[in-house]
């Protein structure tokens, strides 16, 4: 059987095996301007070396082991002959003061040694010179280190390096063989529900054809397992290598973990890591990777590989608790350890931003020119539209720039002057803008900001004080983000200036359609599954999330019997601004009261805003509260514990009736499971339309200009999604029974009825005078069953 060939670049090899020292927060890591400067300086130095100097020489070497062939490859910056000796030259551009550099950086030297061994062995040499050339990116000052290496020294050093890496590859290969064997007889772990088998087959088919598929699957279908199972089987059959399960909320990440655990109990061997935000994993009060103050950052790289290898080879599921325990044991950063683990996983469970956000994405998987046999399962995919817009938009604030300019004046006159140019340009734009104004483009602002970033780069390399670093770092990232996004601006963007809610003046690069940017990320894998309980209309979400024309679409039928819930449209009430006032508030409050009077249990009322919720709450408390109906109300700044306590009130067997007043689109209207009697009714007040704002109006005008229904794209579709999510809290399992009130006359109109899911085709109409009669009849039928 032919041995597999595993390829790795010289740089990745030495940086993985030989990294050492402290973990530090780098403000300039990966900066594009530094990379461009470095490339230009590389070429300049190479040309100065003369015609005998061979630049960018491609080298590779295969090393055979009993189980695989390891191919190491890369390009030496230069190879030249001097004093009849061959010399390998490795060039590095840096901002640091070269006078303070006493010796080459370990991993830099290691790159040169790899090239030296490959060249020496290929050419039958007995010794070779290795030169490290360090060049300052601004002054272009050069400092060199040179040494002679013998064949024996290089061969021994190189073999130790490869052996250290081979142990990782060898374990991974053995694991994958065991994993794939575990799938040979793996069956779907449950009896298929209605629609579930079709969903599993559809996903498997899409993966096999390397396609994308959009799935509208109502609550109760069992979406998570229906997506995970065919993806896992596809990996076992070699159709893919790594599964990314992407979610917008912590609760759905937990559901995904549970799905993998169920499959493991049925015999599956599969390694999964859940990536938790740095803020939630950090042992310190503030998540700053500073070796001066954090013992986990101090010497992190000296211990990280041993910590990861031990955990990786002994566990299958790497959740928050597992990672924290191992990080504590080895005194390493838990967040960085979770990222290191991800490289060796069969599945990565994480937030959208680790795949899509240009500032956060996992560079190990999605960096420039990196791709793989990845599968993307995108849960709650409806959330990715707005999240995508956020991730690919950026803004700069005049007032922030003025403040940073004042702060930096004593430390850097050059930066102070360059910031002055930015302030002038923003003030000029401010003169013609009262509220908001669409601009043709960003003008010369990105050029000025690029110059500002260059100055900040230098300042952050050797800051005069920690106060300077702390004072400008946030602004540095704002500038970096703005410049990165400015390179993406195309026909899918609108550039506008506006006075924000805080009174500040902003220029924003607004991504109105994120599909193109999202697709570039998805194209790094082989197949994507978008699924949600509220992905209607499919055509809209397909256009917002993908640029492919050949996407599959699937509508999974609901497994619930319609007779198990009562769906009523209240046609004599409205949440329109023109109707708001005491009379309307009283009618809404009375509907909520009459719903809760029909059967003892737990109910939720979902409002389009805190303001309307508070107004109705006040009327309800004054006119409809009773001793046997208890009410609780969501507030805007609830802590995690307060959220948990709120949900804990919805018990299966409560002594009285409970009504929870909540906000549509908020923390309690998506992703929570109140099964059985924990929730038996929901009132959805209004059509969920987002508030009128400059960005909503920009979206409307943008899509109107493209011949689409601008109002639908900007307002109606996002609003209806909130309605469907809120209503979906009631029926979670096949045994659930409940009532749903859609409280707005607009729901009787064709524009909204067209957006109803198929299982809502039995929606009846009611008015305040007969709502109790209809609800009462429903509950009487249920009691007789």
- Percentage above 70 pLDDT, the chain: 98
Min mean pLDDT across 246-255, 421-430, 521-530, 675-684 is at 246-255
Strand ranges inside 341-470, DSSP E: 347-351, 374-378, 394-397, 436-439
Mean pLDDT on 684-702: 96
Class of the CATH-defined domain 562-784:
alpha beta
Query: Is 559:226 a contact under the CB 8 Å cutoff?
Result: no
Residue 388 has pLDDT above 50, yes or no: yes
Could you tell me the pLDDT band of residue 663, with boundaries at 50, 70 and 90?
very high
Strand ranges inside 174-323, DSSP E: 212-216, 242-247, 272-274, 317-318
Digit-coded pLDDT (tens) for 152-162:
999 999 999 99
Mean pLDDT on 505-517: 97
Q: What is the pLDDT of residue 712?
A: 97
- Residue 63 has which token pair? 């090393």
Q: What is the pLDDT of residue 32?
A: 60
Q: What is the pLDDT of residue 28?
A: 40
Same fold, 5-169 and 194-270+346-392+514-559: no
Q: What is the pLDDT of residue 767?
A: 97
Q: How is the chain split into domains, by residue range?
A: 5-169, 194-270+346-392+514-559, 279-344, 394-511, 562-784
Q: What is the pLDDT of residue 33?
A: 62
CA–chain centroid gap for 286, Å, is 22
Angle between helices 413-431 and 398-408 (to 10 degrees): 160
Min mean pLDDT across 237-246, 365-374, 473-482, 606-615 is at 365-374
The CB density around residue 608, as the number of other CB atoms within 10 Å, is 24
Could you tell me the pLDDT band of residue 26, with boundaries at 50, 70 and 90?
low
Q: What is the pLDDT of residue 293?
A: 85
Q: Which residues contact 536 (CB under 8 A, 6 or more apart)?
A: 216, 720, 721, 724, 755, 757
Q: Looking at the domain that runs over 394-511, which CATH code has it been given?
A: 1.10.275.40
- Residue 392 has which token pair? 């690919």
* Of residues 104, 103, 44, the one with CA closest to residue 77: 44
Could you tell me the pLDDT band of residue 70, with boundaries at 50, 70 and 90?
very high
> Is 442 in a helix, a strand, or coil?
coil
Mean pLDDT on 180-190: 95
Mean pLDDT on 178-190: 95
Mean pLDDT on 708-725: 96
Digit-coded pLDDT (tens) for 30-53:
456 667 777 888 888 988 898 889
- Percentage above 90 pLDDT, the chain: 80
Q: For domain 194-270+346-392+514-559, is the CATH number 3.40.50.300?
A: yes
> Is 31 in a helix, a strand, or coil?
coil
- Contacts of residues 277-286 at CB distance under 8 Å and 24 or more positions apart, as own/partner, are 277/335, 277/351, 278/335, 280/320, 281/320, 281/323, 281/324, 281/327, 281/334, 281/335, 281/338, 282/333, 282/334, 282/335, 283/324, 283/327, 283/328, 283/334
Residue 476 has pLDDT above 90, yes or no: yes
Residue 382 has pLDDT above 70, yes or no: yes
Q: What is the pLDDT of residue 149?
A: 96
CATH topology of domain 5-169: Lambda Exonuclease; Chain A (3.90.320)
Q: Which residues pair with 59 in a beta bridge?
A: 74
Query: Is 302:331 a contact under the CB 8 Å cutoff?
Result: no
Q: What is the pLDDT of residue 29?
A: 37
- Residue 397 has which token pair? 């604030």
Phi, psi torsion values for 212, nearest 5 degrees: -110, 145
Q: What is the pLDDT of residue 370?
A: 84
Query: Is 256:224 a contact under the CB 8 Å cutoff?
Result: yes
CA angle 170, 175, 177 (to 5 degrees): 100
Q: What is the pLDDT of residue 27?
A: 43
Dist CA 194 CA 602 (whole Å): 28
Digit-coded pLDDT (tens) for 91-110:
999 888 898 899 999 999 99
Q: What is the pLDDT of residue 176?
A: 96
CA–chain centroid gap for 578, Å, is 39
Mean pLDDT of all residues belonging to the chain = 93
Digit-coded pLDDT (tens) for 484-501:
999 999 999 999 999 998
Dist CA 453 CA 483 (whole Å): 9
């Amino acid at each position: 059987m032919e041995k597999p060939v595993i390829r790795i670049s010289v740089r990745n090899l030495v940086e993985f095996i030989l990294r050492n020292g402290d973990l530090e927060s780098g403000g300039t890591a990966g900066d594009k301007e530094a990379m461009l400067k470095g490339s230009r300086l590389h070429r300049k130095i190479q040309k100065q070396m003369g015609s005998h100097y061979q630049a960018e020489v491609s080298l590779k070497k295969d090393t055979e082991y009993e189980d695989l062939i390891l191919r190491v490859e890369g390009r030496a910056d230069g190879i030249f002959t001097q004093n009849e000796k061959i010399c390998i030259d490795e060039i590095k551009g840096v901002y640091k003061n070269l006078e303070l550099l006493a010796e080459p950086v370990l991993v830099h030297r290691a790159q040169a040694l790899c090239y030296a061994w490959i060249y020496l062995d290929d050419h039958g040499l007995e010794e070779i010179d290795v030169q490290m050339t360090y060049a300052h990116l601004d002054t272009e000052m050069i400092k060199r280190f040179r040494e002679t290496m013998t064949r024996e020294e290089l061969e021994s050093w190189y073999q130790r390096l490869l052996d250290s890496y081979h142990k990782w590859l060898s374990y991974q290969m053995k694991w994958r063989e065991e994993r794939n064997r575990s799938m040979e007889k793996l069956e779907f772990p449950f009896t298929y529900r209605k629609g579930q088998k079709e969903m599993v087959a559809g996903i498997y088919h899409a993966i096999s054809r390397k396609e994308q598929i959009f799935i509208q699957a109502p609550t109760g279908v069992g979406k998570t397992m229906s997506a995970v199972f065919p993806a896992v089987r596809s990996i076992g059959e070699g159709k893919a290598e790594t599964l990314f399960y992407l979610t917008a909320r912590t609760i759905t990440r937990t559901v995904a973990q549970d799905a993998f655990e169920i499959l493991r109990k049925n015999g599956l061997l599969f390694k999964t890591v859940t990536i938790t935000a740095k803020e939630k994993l950090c042992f310190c009060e503030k998540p700053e990777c500073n070796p001066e103050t954090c013992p986990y950052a101090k010497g992190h790289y000296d211990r990280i590989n041993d910590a990861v290898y031990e955990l990786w080879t002994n566990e299958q599921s790497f959740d928050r608790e597992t990672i924290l325990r191992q990080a504590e044991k080895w005194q390493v950063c838990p967040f960085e350890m979770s990222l290191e683990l991800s490289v060796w996983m069969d599945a990565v469970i994480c937030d959208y931003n680790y795949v899509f956000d240009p500032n956060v994405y996992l560079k190990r998987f999605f960096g420039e020119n990196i791709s793989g046999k990845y599968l993307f399962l995108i849960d709650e995919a409806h959330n990715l539209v707005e999240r995508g817009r956020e991730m690919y938009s950026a803004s700069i604030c005049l007032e922030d720039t003025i403040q940073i300019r004042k702060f930096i004046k004593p430390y850097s006159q050059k930066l102070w002057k360059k910031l002055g140019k930015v302030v002038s340009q923003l003030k000029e734009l401010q003169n013609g803008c009262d509220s908001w104004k669409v601009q043709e483009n960003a003008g010369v602002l990105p050029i000025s900001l690029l110059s500002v970033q260059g100055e900040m780069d230098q300042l952050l390399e050797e800051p005069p004080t920690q106060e300077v670093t702390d004072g400008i770092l946030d602004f540095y990232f704002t500038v970096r983000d703005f410049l990165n996004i400015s390179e993406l601006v195309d026909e899918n963007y609108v550039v506008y200036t506006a006075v924000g809610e805080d009174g500040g003046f902003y220029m924003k690069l607004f991504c109105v359609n994120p599909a193109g940017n999202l697709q570039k990320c998805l194209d790094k894998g082989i197949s994507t599954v978008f699924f949600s309980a509220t992905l209607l209309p499919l055509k809209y979400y397909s256009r917002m999330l993908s640029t492919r024309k050949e996407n599959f679409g699937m509508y999974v039928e609901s497994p619930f019997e319609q007779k198990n819930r009562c769906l009523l449209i209240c046609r004599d009430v409205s949440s329109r601004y023109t109707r708001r006032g005491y009379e309307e508030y009283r009618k809404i409050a009375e509907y909520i009261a009459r719903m809760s009077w029909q059967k003892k249990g737990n109910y939720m009322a979902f409002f389009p805003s805190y303001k309307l919720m508070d107004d109705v709450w006040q009327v309800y408390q004054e006119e409809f509260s009773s001793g046997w109906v208890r009410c609780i109300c969501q507030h805007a700044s609830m802590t995690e514990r307060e959220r948990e306590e709120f949900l804990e009130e919805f018990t299966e067997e409560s002594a009285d009736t409970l009504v929870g007043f909540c906000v549509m689109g908020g923390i309690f209207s998506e992703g929570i499971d109140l099964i059985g009697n924990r929730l038996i009714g929901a009132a959805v007040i209004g059509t969920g339309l987002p508030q009128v704002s400059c960005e909503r109006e920009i979206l409307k005008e943008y899509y109107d200009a493209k011949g689409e229904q601008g109002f639908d794209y900007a307002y109606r579709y996002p609003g209806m999604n909130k309605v469907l999510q809120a209503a979906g809290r009631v029926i979670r399992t096949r045994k659930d029974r409940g009532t749903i009130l859609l409280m707005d006359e607009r729901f009787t109109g064709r524009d909204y009825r067209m957006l109803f899911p198929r299982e809502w085709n039995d929606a009846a109409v009611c008015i305040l005078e007969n709502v109790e009669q209809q609800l009462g009849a429903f509950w009487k039928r249920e009691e007789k069953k």
